[in-house]
Amino acid sequence: MQLNIYDLTLKCIGIINNNLPAALHYFDDNWHRYLLEGTSTFDFSVNKSHPDYALLTMQGYISFTYDDEDYLFKIVNLRQDHFSIQVQCENLNFELIKEEVGACKNTKRHSIVWYLKNAAKITDNVLEIGNNPFSEVDEDKNNPVLNFDSTETKLARILSICNSFNAEFLFKTKLKNDGTFQNLTLDLYKKDGVGQKRKDVILYYGKNIDGITSTGDLTATFFNAATVTDSNNKYNWLAVEGKHYNDEGQLEFYKNAGENTAYAPLSRDMFPSQLKSSSSDRYTRKDLSTEATSANSLWDYAVSQFKLYAYPQMTYEVTVAVNAVTNALGNDRKLDIGDRVTIQDKTFDQTEGGLILSARVTEQEISFTNPLNNKITFSNFVKLKSEISADLMSRVEEIAKENAPYHAEIETSNGVQFKNGKGSTTLSAHVYQGSASTETIADTYEWTKDGESVANAQEITVEASGFSDKVVYAYQAILNGKVIGSASVTLTNVKDGTDGKAGKDGRSVVSIEQKYQVTLTDTKPTEPWEDKRWQIVEPKMTATYKYLWSMTRLTFNQAPFTQDTVEKKAVYGDSGKTGADGKPGKIVSDTEPTTKFKGLTWKYSGLTAIDASDGTNIQPNTEYYWNGKNWELNIITAHNIQAESLESLTGKMGDLETGSVTNKIDFATTTGKPIHYQGTSVLNDKGYKIDANMSDLETGISRGEKLISLDVEGGLFISDGSNSIALTSGYMVKPTLLINGNDILDMIWPIGSVYTSYENKNPADLFGIGVWTRIKGRFIVGVDEADTSISSAGKTGGEKNHTLTTDEMPKHGVQESVGIKNASSEAKGYGLTQAAAFKDRVIINNSGKPTYTGSAGGGKAHNNMPPYIALYMWRRTG
């Protein structure tokens, strides 16, 4: 399986393929598919020995194609050590997983599409809605009225909406031919719509099922009395009446009209709430609510809940053989998420004839690199027996009819043997299919007597007087013109004979005895029982007499009176090869050992020094080694050692105080491009320092110097010649980070840069670099070389308040004429608008007071500032 690597723009930038030797390879992969969430996760690991591991980033994506379906995953977690990277991916975009939607208040019915777009805020550019079997008419009476009171992620809101519509769904990713992303689609299905009912598949224990575990549990939800209310308060539960009988004809659940509670009496008798009194209320109650479509639907809901919770919750765990996860089954198709299958175990619960389950694939775990880790999780288990739904029972019976042959039987009313030609018996023909207990009735039963046809009936009666010594009766059962079974029986007729002669007494064992002997060779002894070499007590074997034999004598009550059997009982094993010499011994004493051999060690436990026989001066608490001629110093035990020169090839050290320890560095890397490091590392009372030159191992070209220093004076300093990090010592630690020889703070805040903040703090105090000048009362505008007022950085201008000049005011004024005519006549064309005569006349007389126009306005300056927010600004000047 090839994995494709994408960058954040969904451009393919690399591949991971275990079949290509030069490509990046992966392992520990697990693709986990979920039916409930309609999506999947994908985890895998890669080794860092391949340079392409660097393509795996938190901004990236992974895709692959499985069974002609595209799957795209967002990388959400990277965990790495020196050797490998573990990658975790999710099969949805970040908006669905992380973005939240708020509460949604609603009082009307709406379609599922409406809720997805308005309550889950799904837009076509994020998620397209594909398959949709639900009504898109908002007013459809099957649509619920949904409210969402809390904030949750978009994915959680989609799950809630689909659950309210009893819907299932799948997210599907589509990629373009060039591998880039095309769209993400949400396909909706009715309940149980994801997957298929696989009538072509039966999983058998021992073939593709490794194990089944069943668990009965009363600790979960349990009740056997209930009230049901309509959440819309439309239908009256009190008036409901109902009865439900089980397959044995027993009243299992009931509710009387006018009573508020429905009861499960069989459950009460099996699991009473208390045992104090058989006449008191021993029910366990629960209040239920549902959105009813009729009064009868309230009763139907009560029955469905009783079936679920009035008896122990039975759960099943099925372990699937790895070959059933990704291999084709049935009609050459693999099991897919949501598929429903039949599981059968004939050895499970044999008192009920084995176990048959219907189950649904709700989770799949697939490993492309290690199929032994493949796994399927089943749920929605239904035990296939009398209480299961009719369609599942029909399926089981259909399987039995397809696979089980008919078998024929003959029953007799008086056996099959007669004496002296007296008596009779009735022979009955019966045919069954498979393990069915119900008889199959044939159309005809054709009986024969010694091959000759005698009757056409299911039962016939045979008289003993009708045959001599024996006779064979047989029949064939015919259904729909075909022989479906046949059987035969032999009847015998015996007669009393004359008494026979008395028989001889039988031969039996009277006693059992046993003797033993050992021999030099493997040849079986031939001596008789009476020979002295056969002993009553078992002799011991030795390296010479290594073969032990036994003779068992059986003594009978009749001739031949004895029977002897000789058997080889045991063999003495040969000595093994001489082992290697053991480690030299060690003597602890205050005197010199008198017996010495090469390799002997002696620890002198005396308190004062002595001279050994070879002249060696032996010191207290010191161990010596005898080399064949002299004692040599082996181990010194001391609290303090002072030496001018001390050399150790190997050793283990505990607490060590030293002036200075220098170690030579000379090695080459083995991964990536090989680099040769040469230098020293020094440990002294001030700290630790590594100073090494780097060079290309193949070309010898220098790659610069690597320096790592940690001491009480200089703090921490790391450098590769171009880049460095430094932490200086002191109470105020000043960090320094150099990139290509430049201080990173100087790169972020170069001279001329502007720093803004809500706090009135000089950046020189914050960052420890540069000289900063405060900017006050100025807006910032971008330089425009075409505008002389702002053509270069640092130019200033503008004013906070401004008084308009006459030139800055808008042009204004009216130049119109009014026609005046004497009062004695009217004509069109005079007046304000020059309308028809007498319509807009102006009358001038001398009886009124004149009216004058005047001036307005104060001529003050106005505020010239745009909307603003005040911040502290500093410019670096040095």
Tokens of 509: 């064992």
What is the pLDDT at residue 149? 85
- Across the range 360-364, mean pLDDT stands at 86
Residues 35 and 363 sit within 8 Å (Cβ to Cβ)? yes
**DSSP code of 460?**
E
d(CA 687, CA 690): 11
Q: Is the confidence at residue 400, as pLDDT, over 70?
A: no
Share of the chain above pLDDT 90, in %: 25
Q: How distant, in Å, are the alpha carbons of 68, 113, 183, 224, 464 from that of 130?
A: 18, 11, 11, 43, 80
Q: Where are the beta strands (DSSP E) in 480-612?
A: 482-494, 509-519, 547-556, 562-571, 586-589, 601-604, 610-611
Ranges of beta strands (E only) in 299-421 are 313-320, 340-345, 355-366, 375-383, 406-412, 417-419
Tell me how crowded residue 21 is: count the other CB atoms within 10 A of its CB: 7
The strand pairing partners of 344, in sequence order, are 204, 356
The helix (run of H) or strand (run of E) holding residue 283 is none
* Mean pLDDT score across all residues of the chain: 81
Q: What's the N-to-C CA distance of the chain in angstroms?
A: 60
Question: Which segments of 38-174 does DSSP mark as H helices, in order?
Answer: 94-98, 112-118, 154-164
**What kind and span of H or E run contains 449?**
strand 444-449
| Average pLDDT, integer, range 411-415 | 89
Whole-number Å distance between alpha carbons of 595 and 581: 18
Angle, alpha carbons 849-854-856 (nearest 5°): 150
Nearest residue to 90 (alpha-carbon basis) of 16, 37, 40? 40
CA pseudo-torsion sign 258, 263, 268, 269: positive
Mean pLDDT of 380-388: 54
Comparing 74-88, 658-672, 761-775, the range with the smallest average pLDDT is: 658-672
215 vs 45: CA distance, rounded Å: 36
In this model, does residue 685 exceed pLDDT 80? Answer: no
Q: What is the pLDDT of residue 227?
A: 94
Residue at token pair 């002799």: 539
The enclosing H or E element of 580 equals none
User: So what's the pLDDT on residue 650?
Assistant: 55
Alpha-carbon span 189 to 164, nearest angstrom: 13
Average pLDDT over residues 779-808: 84
Instruction: Tell me if 284 sits within 8 A of 273, measured CB to CB.
Output: yes
pTM of the entire predicted model: 0.40
Radius of gyration in angstroms for the set of CA atoms belonging to the chain, rounded to a whole number: 52
Cα 171 to Cα 97, 131, 362, 702: the distances in Å are 13, 11, 15, 55
Which residues, 6+ apart, have CB-to-CB distance to 109 below 8 Å? 138, 139, 140, 141, 143, 144, 145
Can you give the pLDDT at residue 573?
Answer: 82
- Helix or strand or coil: residue 544? coil
For 227-281, what is each residue's pLDDT tens digit?
Answer: 999 988 888 999 999 999 987 889 999 999 999 999 999 988 888 876 555 555 7
For residue 214, the model assigns a pLDDT of 77
pLDDT value, residue 46: 95
Residue 512 has pLDDT above 80, yes or no: yes
**According to the model, what pLDDT value does residue 673 have?**
73
Chain segment 462-490, per-residue pLDDT in tens? 999 989 889 999 999 999 989 998 999 99
Q: How many CB atoms lie within 10 A of CB 329?
A: 19
Q: Is the pLDDT of residue 848 over 70?
A: no
Paired residues of 205 in beta bridges? 209
pLDDT of residue 583: 61
Q: Is the pLDDT of residue 219 over 90?
A: no
Q: Which of 178, 148, 175 is nearest to 161 (CA)?
A: 148
Q: pLDDT of 284-336, one tens digit each?
A: 889 999 888 788 889 999 998 888 888 877 777 778 777 777 777 777 788 88
Average pLDDT estimate for 401-424: 83
Which pLDDT score is estimated for 345?
A: 79
pLDDT, average across residues 754-767 = 89
Amino acid sitting at position 693: N
How far are the Cα atoms of 657, 705, 727 from residue 683, in angstroms, in the given order? 11, 19, 19
Work out the pLDDT band at 817, boundaries 50, 70, 90.
low
